[in-house]
Amino acid sequence: MARVPVSEASETIPLLLEGGLVDRTARIGKAEGSRLVPVAAGMEGMVAAMGYEIVDGPAHSLDRRPPMERIRERLRGLPEDAVAALPVKWEYVGDIVILRLDPCCEPHGSRIGEAYAEVLGAETVCVDTGGIAGDLRRPSIEVIHGDRTESVRYENGIGYRFDVRKVMFSSGNNHERRRMEGLDCRGETVVDMFAGIGYFTLPLARFAGPDRVFACEKNPDSYGFLLENIAINGVADTVIPILADNRDLQGRRFADRILMGYVQKTSEFLPKALSMIKDGGMIHYHDTLSVRTHAEDIRSLFEGLCGPDGFAIEALREVKSFAPHVSHYVADVRIHHTDSPEPHAVSSVFMASR
């Protein structure tokens, strides 16, 4: 086991987990002033090279049974319908675990939280009770075990610090966040209109080589973590954070690339994006659309705003399923400005179909 000081645990343990250095079949233990993290077989030297002492201790369990088998064992005595409905999937945010509970499990939340924490080595267990709501994209989260809800999620070499009670994080967008790393943005000015805690800004700023990224976010909680994450990931010289509604941003046709990582109401913000994008610039447009008509819907939207010759859809990809017959898509759209000094109004036909 690796002895990790408590003062470093919230950042180090997620990093070890992401790197595949932790034995997830064993429990994270506690010692005075430290957390005892079970190290995966063969990884002891690597963890020691990071500066952590490798010790023997009681936290390393010999129980190699699947986690759900051990969880159900700890929850024997619960009503049969609750045991049958226990969640078999969960999401990690560092040493925080997030579950979705069936209504029949809710009366037993505290006991369930304790069992998942013990088996999964979690400090805190939370329940996602209602997804994401409102323009500020705030999650509905209930804590059923522990009390610390702020941690760091490490993904693709980027650290995202946030509080799971206050800020959303969509693990289903991982492929798109990774794609941002591979873009060639050398010399570009980029605008992220919906920066959040830095979901797309951080990988793009750190790995894609832009000159600068204007990262706009209007949720004060998200903006606060955006500032922290800019510092954590060493991109303060590239990212310019802005606390504002993106429709209040100043400047015309100055951006080489615009990120629109929002869904459901994204089209309302497209006229603003078109006013900021340079001729020949790229807009990465996200939205939730019918799986049957998504290509036609995207084309209709941009044609209504730019005219038939004012844009070219270079790529259109499904990010993830959103609802029955509806998916989250991202379109890479190259803009070719015509003589029109301002973008047209949003197509009323498109808006009425949403």
Q: How far apart are CA 26 and CA 304, in angstroms?
A: 57
Contact 153, 165 (CB under 8 A): no
Q: What is the mean pLDDT of the chain?
A: 87
In this structure, what are the phi and psi dihedrals at residue 13, rounded to the nearest 5 degrees?
Answer: -60, -45
Report the alpha-carbon distance of residue 220 to residue 218 in Å, rounded: 6
How far apart CA 91 and CA 208 sit, in angstroms, is: 28
Give pTM, 2 decimals: 0.77
- Angle between helix 109-120 and helix 67-74 axes, rounded to 10 deg: 140
Indicate the domain borders of the chain.
Answer: 2-54, 67-148, 170-352
Question: What is the fold, at CATH topology level, of the domain defined by 2-54?
Answer: Alpha-Beta Plaits (3.30.70)
Say how many C-beta atoms besides its own lie within 10 A of residue 194's C-beta: 23
67-148 folds as GMP Synthetase; Chain A, domain 3 (3.30.300)
Contact 72, 86 (CB under 8 A): yes
Write the pLDDT tens digit of every residue in 136-164: 677 888 999 999 999 888 887 888 999 99
Q: With CA atoms as reference, report the closest residue to 279 among 248, 309, 259.
A: 309
- Tell me the per-residue pLDDT of 36-90, one tens digit each, with 9 for 90 and over: 888 887 778 778 877 788 887 654 455 667 889 999 999 999 999 999 999 999 9
Q: What's the first-to-final CA gap in the chain, in angstroms? A: 54
CATH architecture assigned to 170-352: 3-Layer(aba) Sandwich (3.40)
